[in-house]
Amino acid sequence: MKIAVVGTGYVGLVVGACFAENGNTVVCVDNDAAKVRALEQGRIPIYEPGLEELVTRNRREERLAFTTSLTRAAAASQIVFIAVGTPSGEDGAADLTNVLEVAREIAGALDGYTIIATKSTVPAGTAARLREVVAEATTQPFSIVTNPEFLKQGAAIDDFMRPDRVVIGADDERAARTMRALYAPFTRTGAPIMVMDCASAELSKYAANAMLATRVSFMNEMANVCETFGADVDEVRRVIAADRRIGPAFLFPGVGYGGSCFPKDLRALAGLARRNGSECRILDAVEAVNEAQKSRLVARMKAYFASLQGKTIALWGLAFKPRTDDMREAPSIAIAEGILEAGGRVVAYDPQAIETARKVMDPRVAYADSAYDALRGADALAIVTEWNAFREPDFARMRALLRAPVIFDGRNLFAVEQMRAEGFTYFSVGR
């Protein structure tokens, strides 16, 4: 099929590259000419494992192209995916300005029947608004489809190529049939293609992220309770995870969630519900727990040192999760700010996110060239992101580099007994 993807951010690039990998002819559109030139030269603006190779191969085989001309791309395509940002407004609601502007421009370019599909995360009712906007701007036949993405950063390509499920919101059979055909090669192992009304599809993405965020905050609260009673959250988690009604996913405590999806989508869903007369007290609590969790590691440092004035803390990990360079609402930002506000100094290292971090973190944060360089002369280490490279370090080298063998582990990477045997003063979450 001939496909256009509007937006070359995280979602747009992954979607475009993966559709091209399956033999479709794809053009990705962005209004940032410098970004398009960089992509044409093979420079990828984000870090996602496997994405650069996928883009390079499909550009070479002429299945994937980049352009700034939405008009030409839309006119030549059977399906146009909208994958632009929907940032949170002041009230937490998703800002649909970009989505609606793109829809109007697509409408003006249509040349025959076209499916306009939203990949952007949008609130219930957006498809109806898009249908009105497009109908006002064209006499050409079209369908509006909601096709939410369920991609995990760090594993997005595998998620797209081998999805758990594909969700299609379509209000006419012609569009549903075309979308089923498009996704059929990705679901040969039996993953369901779920076709439903657009409003249900729109809500499904918010509901999924809200549930996952709830599990994270629930386990963080349980970890805090475990600390109160001297219990071990790992043992509690094992019991919970063994229940087939619950399962093990997203039950690991830590320093809170971040990223582009959970915080934004949780606020948007709660705000949408409130504006329509329905309270979301659980979601409000999930967000409150998450924000409080980001400060607990610093509070523990203050309790141990009595004062962080003049102390140097090494941070391992900056991105909100491993296998990405995404710093949006990363817990590391709040942790670094807490240390600096208390008079401490921060030296940070991350395998991928340092350049992104420089743009969003306090300029007083210093950056190291390696994990071990960050430890040199530091009073303690704080582990914030669970990169694989941090899981089996040289503990003897760590002790030699640190001013004192103190670790505040926000991701529970190591066993408590192991760290005692290695000679460290070791603090973790819920243990």
Q: Coil, strand or helix: which one is 312?
A: strand
At residue 89, the pLDDT reads: 79
Q: Quick one: how many helices (H) and strands (E) in the chain?
A: 18, 14
pLDDT tens, position by position, 296-312: 999 999 999 999 999 99
DSSP letters for 337-383: HHHHHTT-EEEEE-SS-HHHHHHHS-TT-EE-SSHHHHHTT-SEEEE
Q: How far apart are CA 351 and CA 298, in angstroms?
A: 23
CA angle (136, 140, 146) in 5-degree steps: 75
Annotated catalytic residue within 18, 28, 198, 261: 261
Q: Coil, strand or helix: which one is 179?
A: helix
pLDDT tens, position by position, 162-198: 999 999 999 999 999 999 999 999 999 999 999 999 9
For 294-427, which CATH class? alpha beta
At residue 348, the pLDDT reads: 98
On the question of a common fold for 2-196 and 206-292, the answer reads no
Q: How is the chain split into domains, by residue range?
A: 2-196, 206-292, 294-427
From the number of C-beta atoms within 10 Å of its C-beta (0-12, 13-18, 19+), residue 87 rates as: exposed
Contact yes or no for 408/316 (Cβ under 8 A): no
CA–chain centroid gap for 351, Å, is: 17
Q: Say what the pTM is.
A: 0.92
- The yes/no answer on whether domain 2-196 falls in CATH 3.40.50.720 is yes
Please give the CATH number for the structural domain made up of 206-292: 1.10.1040.10
**Residues of the chain predicted below pLDDT 50:** none
In the annotation, is 280 catalytic?
no
The rounded mean pLDDT for the chain is 96
